[in-house]
Every structure is written in structure tokens, then in C-alpha cells.
Amino acid sequence: MSANGAIAIAPPRGAEEASASSRFHFIDDVEIENLPPLAWLVEDIIPERGLAVLYGQPETGKSFAALAIAFSIATGRPFFSQVVHQGPVIYVAAEGSAGLGQRVGAWKRSAEWYDRAGVQFLTEPVDLSDIESVSAFASAVRTLLDPPRLIVFDTLARSLVGGDENSSQDVGVLIHHASLLQQKLKVAVLFIHHTRKDGETERGSSALRGAADVMIRCDREKGSQLITLVCDKAKDAPHFPDITLELVPVADSCALITANGSLAATDPLRTPNSLLALRSLHEGAPLDEGLPTALWLKVSGLKERTFYIERKKLLVWGYVSRPDPKRGKPNFVTPRGQEAITANCNLTA
């Protein structure tokens, strides 16, 4: 009985605890066994709504690899034979836009992509150490007509404006804010990061490795055009096999291609079939008319598979252009291709 004579009714036993924990939902072992399997944004490489880190020394091709991942997802094209789940991508180029346009153009040219691909760029950093900055960024992303499936932060250091990458506390805040973006925006996050001086491990606090679903090391020997992507950690799946790529000149920049011999990093006109394909296009029609691909194949005299390999090389290296990608539209020998034919006029195909 209370002091004023009224009878006090005590709350049911455990009611306060139940109210406090109502936001938690427990599932038993049978339910957890029946949860959906791990879904992939890039098969065996980047999980849906996961946290991935691509790291390496300077000039190892990290940004080229990140752009290839971004554009593969945006266009739905496989990432070097790995199937992707297509969707828009946001690429935060926190270190600025210098050279970015040329790299994008090189990817499009090498992939024969002549339209918008679905990648949105932000050429200023997002401070992931500051919740107001994170909230403002998330609000801006929500205004986009097509929600992204992946957000790339290039680089982690420039995205930690107000923090220290060597501090486990500061990196913990960054990870927490990245997790908020993953949950609220239903996206995967990919950080581009640097290695320590030894080139073997990522720079900064180990808290990043502890939180990441996937760690991908980008290796490149000095003076080599070969780049290898190595799975250094995979939390919930087997490590994917090493992916070896070649960085080749394309237009005013470079692009990555599969290092399997079908597209050599050396000048394609050093091989007889490439020179034959180029010459057959040059001689098969006036320069201002070009040839549709099917007719070019016919006049080249090459086997179909060989022809398409050589055609790809010539397009990537800028010897041939196809301004209109629609079926039946012509291929043209570029001025560079004409110069190459003249320079090789003393060679037999």
C-alpha cells in the first residue's frame, strides 16, 4: 500500500527487461541453418553488402582494378570471368579527379562500351570519422534515382579526414560508419588502401582487417605490366584463386586485361594475324566507309575465333574504332592504324 493509502500494482516480473530487449530478435539453431547462403556482388570476391579492402603499394594498379570492379558491376559484365550482380555504383574519388576521365575512357574503350555505364563519381572526400558527414552523404545517395549496390572509397586515408588510421579507436569509428552505410543503404563498401613500407600488409590499425569480409592485395613487380590480385582474407568463403592481369596502354591511359595470352601486353602488330586483320580492313573498303564486323571477318580469311581475338586487340590498342556499337555498323581504321600499316609495309602477313 502506498503512503496515500492507494494500492500499488507492481509490473509483471521481467516486464522491464522484456521492454528493454524488445529490439533484439533471437533465432534458434534450426532457423540459422536455414538462413539464405552467402550472396555475391562479384562472385567469390565481394559479398553483397559486405566490407572489402583492396590494398597495395603505390603504382600497383589498385585504382585501375577498383574501376574495373565498379564498371563490371554497373554494366553487368563479368569481372575477368567472375559473374557480377548488376547495379549502380558510387565511386568516391577522394584524392581528386586528375586522370580519372582518361582511366574511365580507357576502360570503356577496352570493353567496347559506348554509353553511360551507371557509375556516379564524387570527386571530394566523405569524412567517415564524422557522423554528420556520413549522414549528409547517405541523404545525398538516397536522392539518386537508382540506388547503388556498391560504394568505393578511394582511398581510406582520405576518407578518414578527422582521424588517425593507426588508431584502433578512430578506425573503429570508420568501420562503424561504413557499417551504417551498408545497413541503411543496402550496399557493399570497398576501401582502396595502402600497404606498409614492407609492401606485405595493409597500413594502419589491424581493426580494419578484423572487420573486413574480404582483403585483396594488389601485387606488381617493379617494371612489370603484370598485376596480381591475391585474396588475403575471406571471412565466410574459400580464398579465390589469384587473378593475374595485364595493364596495357589504351588511348591516353591504361586498362586491365586478362593475362592469358589472348590479349598480349606487347604491341599486337608484332603478330602476323593482327597485321593481317588490320590490313584486310584497310584494303577491304574506303577509309570513310569501313566494314561491318561480319564482312570484315569474311575478307580477313581468318578463323572466326582467331579473328575476334585479333579484332579485340586492335580496338583496345586504338588501331581500329567502331563509333556506333549497334549490330551491322562499320569498323574503321584509325589514323594510328594507318600509320602502323605504313610502318609495317615491309613485313609480310
Note the residue count of the chain.
349
Judge if 130 and 203 occupy the same domain. Answer: yes
| CATH number of 184's domain | 3.40.50.300
Number of other residues whose CB lies within 10 A of the CB of residue 171:
25
Domain residues for 71? Answer: 40-258
DSSP secondary structure code for residue 157 in this structure: G
Which position has the higher pLDDT, 48 or 338?
Answer: 48
What does the pLDDT read at residue 21?
56
Could you read off the pLDDT of 165-178 as tens digits, one per residue? 999 999 999 999 99
Q: Give ∠ CA 344-345-348 in degrees, rounded to 5.
A: 85
Check pLDDT > 70 for residue 223. Answer: yes
Residue 222 lies in a domain: yes
Q: Does 290 score more than 80 pLDDT?
A: yes
Q: Predicted confidence band at 20 (pLDDT cuts at 50, 70, 90)?
A: low
- Distance, in Å, from the CA atom of 110 to the CA atom of 66, rounded to the nearest integer, reads 15
Identify the CATH number of the domain in which residue 282 sits: 1.10.10.10
* Average pLDDT over all residues of the chain: 86
Q: Is residue 54 located within the same domain as residue 202?
A: yes
Q: Tell me how far apart the alpha carbons of residues 277 and 317 are, in angstroms, rounded to a whole number.
A: 14
* pLDDT tens, position by position, 131-144: 999 999 999 999 99
Higher pLDDT, 342 or 276: 276
Do 184 and 284 share a domain, yes or no?
A: no
What pLDDT score was predicted for residue 264? 38
Is 25 a member of any domain?
A: no
Per-residue pLDDT at 69 exceeds 70: yes
Name the domain count of the chain.
2
Q: What percent of the chain has pLDDT over 70?
A: 88
For range 50-73, the mean pLDDT: 96
Higher pLDDT, 220 or 264: 220
96-130 residue pLDDT tens: 778 899 999 989 888 888 889 999 999 999 999 99
Task: Assign 192 a pLDDT band (cuts: 50, 70, 90).
Answer: very high
My answer on whether 241 and 274 are in the same domain is no
Q: Please report, in angstroms and rounded to a whole number, the separation of the first and last CA atoms in the chain.
A: 107
- Boundary of a domain, candidates 208, 238, 258: 258
Last-in-domain residue among 206, 232, 258: 258
Say yes or no: 251 and 286 in one domain: no
Asked whether residue 169 falls in the same domain as residue 308, the answer is no
With left for phi above 0 and alpha for psi between -120 and 50, is residue 50 left, alpha or beta?
A: beta
**Which pLDDT score is estimated for 251?**
75
Kindly report, residue by residue over 31-47, the tens digit of the pLDDT.
888 877 789 999 999 99
Give the pLDDT confidence score for residue 81 in this predicted structure.
85
Q: Is residue 66 part of a domain?
A: yes
State the Cα–Cα distance between residues 122 and 199, nearest whole angstrom: 28
Alpha helix (H) residue ranges in the chain: 15-20, 29-33, 62-75, 100-111, 131-142, 168-185, 207-211, 272-284, 293-300, 304-316, 335-343
Over its C-alpha atoms, the chain yields an Rg (Å, rounded) of 26
Task: Give the rounded percent of residues in the chain with a pLDDT score beyond 90.
Answer: 56
The predicted structure's pLDDT at residue 265: 40
Q: How far is CA 69 from CA 112, 248, 326, 348, in A?
A: 16, 17, 25, 40
- Mean pLDDT over 62-70 rounds to 96
Averaged over 267-274, what is the pLDDT?
71
Mean pLDDT: which of 77-81, 219-223, 247-251 is highest?
77-81
Note if the pTM is more than 0.85. no
Confidence of residue 325 (pLDDT cuts 50, 70, 90): confident
Provide the pLDDT for residue 240.
Answer: 94
* Same-domain check for residues 292 and 204: no
- At residue 261, the pLDDT reads 41
Q: How far apart are CA 159 and CA 174, in angstroms?
A: 9
Give the integer Cα–Cα distance in Å for 110 and 316: 5
Average pLDDT over residues 284-290: 82
Instruction: Give the pLDDT score at 349.
Output: 29
pLDDT, average across residues 47-59: 95
